[in-house]
Amino acid sequence: MSEAVHASLPHQVACSLCGRQLAGCRYVVTEDAAACTDCFESRLANECAKCGARIGCEMTDLGHGGRHWHEACFRCSACGCSLASQPFLAKEGDVYCTSCHDERFAARCCRCYQVFKAGSRKLEWRSQQYHEQCFLCSECGCGIGCDSFIPHGDNACCVPCYEGRFAQRCRECRQVIRKGGVTYKGQAFHSDCLVCGHCAKPLAGLKFTSQQERPYCADCFGQLFARKCCRCCQPITGFTGAKFVSFEDRDWHSDCFTCSRCSDSLVGRGFLTEGDALLCTGCASLPK
């Protein structure tokens, strides 16, 4: 408390409340004014939040949050133990020992439903809180604690369980795909495992097609399986978006489908054949 009790005064001073001369008397100084002990205890002393009685100048005044208690009245609101010489916590106008406060108000673990003691580590996942030792893998039941884990639905799985039971595996090497995966025909592959069936070049990020369920890069597919242009003898693959023309079991790139004499394009025009040659109508009417 800020008040001080004095036994005597060096000068003639009167009680600020009743006017009584304080020379040779005990008195209390509060906010730069003096009061006799009777006035102080009856009019100025703090009221105990527990019993409502005044806390006299000879008593110990224990204060917290603007409230005051007699030392004997400063007790836990739940168990009644004295709080005068031990830690306490206030909640909703009442004071509690740390044990009772934790039991009534502290957060609880979603697994064991026990409170989080001071200093214990608390893990939070999906708005739920766990003791470190209570955060378990939903599959094997082993503790995850602060180690890495992988969500599976609403559950948390340790990495070994997730990889052993739920993770995608490469169609080629059958190992777990942790990163860099690609999908081809509904099957998952490591980027390095999806390769051309002929030259073994990785196909991730490249244009490719398949033949007999095996993938091939554009170059290998063209060389191995594609039809060849009757003019330039190069593969007709369609990878570049180029159109082609077929006639009597022969194929041409659109740009190669030209008159054998004047080289004009025959696409969309009438033409005549002369052996293996194609002639526009103009060239076909000229004498040989």
**What pTM was estimated for this model as a whole?**
0.45
Q: Is residue 116 part of a domain?
A: no
Residues 243 and 254 in one domain: yes
Res 1 pLDDT > 50: no
pLDDT at residue 133 in the model: 92
Q: Is residue 89 part of a domain?
A: no
Separation of alpha carbons 148 and 156, rounded Å: 10
Q: Is residue 22 part of a domain?
A: no
Residues 188 and 220 in one domain: yes
Residues 280 and 235 in one domain: yes
For the segment 212-266, what is each residue's pLDDT rounded down to a tens digit?
888 898 888 888 888 888 888 888 776 655 678 888 878 888 888 888 888 898 8
Q: Is residue 128 part of a domain?
A: yes
Q: Is residue 202 part of a domain?
A: yes
Q: Is residue 147 part of a domain?
A: yes
For the segment 75-122, what is each residue's pLDDT rounded down to a tens digit?
999 999 999 888 898 888 889 998 888 888 888 898 998 888 767 788
Q: Is residue 53 part of a domain?
A: no
Res 46 pLDDT > 60: yes
pLDDT at residue 96 in the model: 92
Q: Is residue 155 part of a domain?
A: yes
pLDDT at residue 26 in the model: 82
Q: How many domains does the chain have?
A: 3
The answer to whether 44 and 62 are in contact (CB under 8 A) is no
Q: What range does the domain containing 204 cover?
A: 167-225
Mean pLDDT of the chain: 84
For the segment 176-195, what is each residue's pLDDT rounded down to a tens digit?
888 878 888 888 898 888 89
Residues 240 and 282 in one domain: yes
- CATH number, domain at 180? 2.10.110.10
**Can you tell me the mean pLDDT for 50-70?**
86
